[in-house]
Amino acid sequence: MKSNPWKRYLRPEVLREAAYQLSSYPEAIKLNQNELSYDLSPDLKDELLRRLRDLPFQRYPLPQPMALKRCLAEQLGLKAEQIEVANGSNVLIQALILATSLKGKVLTLDPTFSVYEIEAKLFGNRAIRVPLEAPDFGLPLEKILAALKKQRPNIAFLANPNAPTGNVFPEEALLEVVAKAKCLVVVDEAYVQFSQATLLPYLKKFPNLVLLRTFSKGFGLGGARIGYLAAHPALAENLSKILMPYCLSSLSEATAHFVLDHADRFAPIVAEVIRERGRMLAAMRALPGLRVWDSAANFILFRVKSAKACFARLLAAGVLVRNVSDHGGLKNCLRVSVGRPEENDAFLRALEASL
């Protein structure tokens, strides 16, 4: 077999990993990335564009987005020194791994958000995957505690609600993991607006707890790329060394401020998504031959006879969902984001027809 000529230049971990890819079908109703299906309303967009127009584009942002950190801290009842902001929480996941674990061990659940393991492996780490409990993806507390003790990972990632399963884990169990872990435990609360589940009150008690949040879901800013973390001030300061200077553009920073100033406009949208989630769950459960899991997020996981065939039929009917059947324990599973009512109707019609 011909050897890869890039072996001379690149680390084996980089050569081994596949690039993150997602096929795009611009014509389809897009329910594949757990986005908010609502863009900013035209009046808000105009106001935001006026704010952006007044920014000096030729200037760097401040080295640290202090005003945004203060604003987020105030909302969370924390100190600004406890917040780090970056261009997407994916970047913070990478920074957390870089700060804790090179050629070490990273503990994740299985199935869970794939970026934890992808980033772990790119930096030469071994991913310790702890399988979630069948049949409803419960948190395998004893197995996690055993893995922490035996494998001594450098960092652990738990998404709550978990993605792509959508369930929240019991708070006491999560806290036991944090209390017993001798490493950082990152609880990824990307979908917090839809679940209302947070370990925020426990940040003070546990210096090894890191909470990860994003503007991509409940604030509908997937395109603006803004994520943040909350942690002990000394930990946040150390993590800031890993983040690139100016890694949040002044446009994104202003956009984040803007949506925080107009948070009241997002609350009814989030409430509608939660209502629609209930409606979709009920409608899907009334269909024959489907296994549908409860969700505390803005997406629903379901199992069909053939994920590949169902995905293709939905797409042919103009609805794009995500085939997640390559994740551990998710054979023949698809995931659909909760969209606007008319998008959800189109999905439900296409799903029924596909069965």
Q: How far is the CB of 161 from ligand PLP (least distance, A)?
A: 8
User: Does residue 214 belong to the site contacting ligand PLP (CB under 6 A)?
Assistant: yes
Alpha carbon distance 342, 349 (integer Å): 11
User: Does residue 216 belong to the site contacting ligand PLP (CB under 6 A)?
Assistant: yes
Alpha carbon distance 191, 177 (integer Å): 20
Alpha carbon distance 213, 227 (integer Å): 6
Q: How far is the CB of 188 from ligand PLP (least distance, A)?
A: 5
Bridge partners, 334 (sequence order):
302, 323
Please give the residues from 161 up to 200 whose contact with ligand PLP meets the rule CB under 6 A: 163, 188, 190
What are the DSSP calls for 272-327, one per residue? HHHHHHHHHHHHHHTSTT-EE---SSSEEEEE-S-HHHHHHHHHHTTEE-EE-TTS
Contact residue for ligand PLP among 83, 155, 158, 159 (CB under 6 A): 159
Q: How far is the CB of 224 from ligand PLP (least distance, A)?
A: 9
Pick 36 or 163: Cβ nearer ligand PLP: 163
CB crowding 194-208: b at 16 or more within 10 Å, else e: bbebbbbebbeebeb
Pick 105 or 335: Cβ nearer ligand PLP: 335
Q: How far is the CB of 159 from ligand PLP (least distance, A)?
A: 4
Q: How far is the CB of 295 from ligand PLP (least distance, A)?
A: 13
Contact residue for ligand PLP among 113, 194, 302, 311 (CB under 6 A): 113
Pick 89 or 252: Cβ nearer ligand PLP: 89
Determine how β-strand 105-110 pairs with β-strand 333-337. unpaired
Please give the residues from 69 up to 88 whose contact with ligand PLP meets the rule CB under 6 A: 88
Q: How many helices (H) and strands (E) does the chain have?
A: 13, 13
Alpha carbon distance 217, 114 (integer Å): 17
Binding site for ligand PLP (CB under 6 A): 34, 88-90, 113, 159, 163, 188, 190, 214, 216, 222, 227
